[in-house]
């Protein structure tokens, strides 16, 4: 297998560089077009849902599943059901606002009120019995 084109037995680095550049631009363009068409994690994405339940079903259940028991396969999506980490309301707020490891940040796309609503919903459902509620002011204080 030859790694570069040859002309008269000599390497043709310009042809190889041009081919590599064209391939890179094509792949980058296709990736960008795919990301834009899916509107995946766009900084201009905003969600109209207001209730915690509606927000959970619109955003969170895609990874954490409808029953909040998480999933594994191509990746690992942790369960939110009966999650002792949710006892600390500030932890949940921080993860939603800033993201954590594979979980993307949603602070850019959700208002303080929406984040408080979805955090309160998860903390009060799915076997989580936490009753101390997060407020929009708590979320605002957690933003960078």
For the chain, give me the number of helices (H) and strands (E)?
6, 4
Predicted local distance difference test score (pLDDT) of residue 45: 73
State pTM to two decimals: 0.69
Domain ranges of the chain: 6-38, 52-142
pLDDT digits (tens, 9 = 90+) for 8-62: 666 555 555 555 554 444 444 444 443 333 344 555 677 888 899 999 999 999 9
Contacts of 98 (CB under 8 A, 6+ apart): 105, 107, 144
Write the CATH number of the domain with boundaries 52-142.
1.10.760.10
């Amino acid at each position: 297998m030859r790694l570069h084109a040859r002309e008269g037995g000599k390497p043709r680095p310009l042809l190889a560089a041009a081919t590599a550049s064209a391939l890179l631009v094509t792949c980058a363009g296709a990736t960008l077009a795919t990301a834009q068409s899916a509107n995946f994690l766009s900084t201009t994405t905003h969600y109209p849902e207001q209730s915690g339940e509606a927000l959970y079903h619109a955003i969170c259940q895609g990874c954490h599943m409808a029953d909040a028991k998480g999933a594994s396969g191509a990746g690992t999506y942790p369960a939110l059901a009966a999650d002792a980490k949710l006892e600390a309301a500030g932890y949940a707020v921080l993860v939603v606002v800033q993201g954590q490891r594979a979980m993307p940040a949603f602070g850019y796309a959700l208002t303080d009120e929406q984040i408080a609503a979805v955090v309160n919903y998860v903390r009060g459902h799915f076997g989580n019995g936490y009753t101390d509620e997060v407020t929009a002011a708590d979320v605002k204080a957690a933003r960078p």
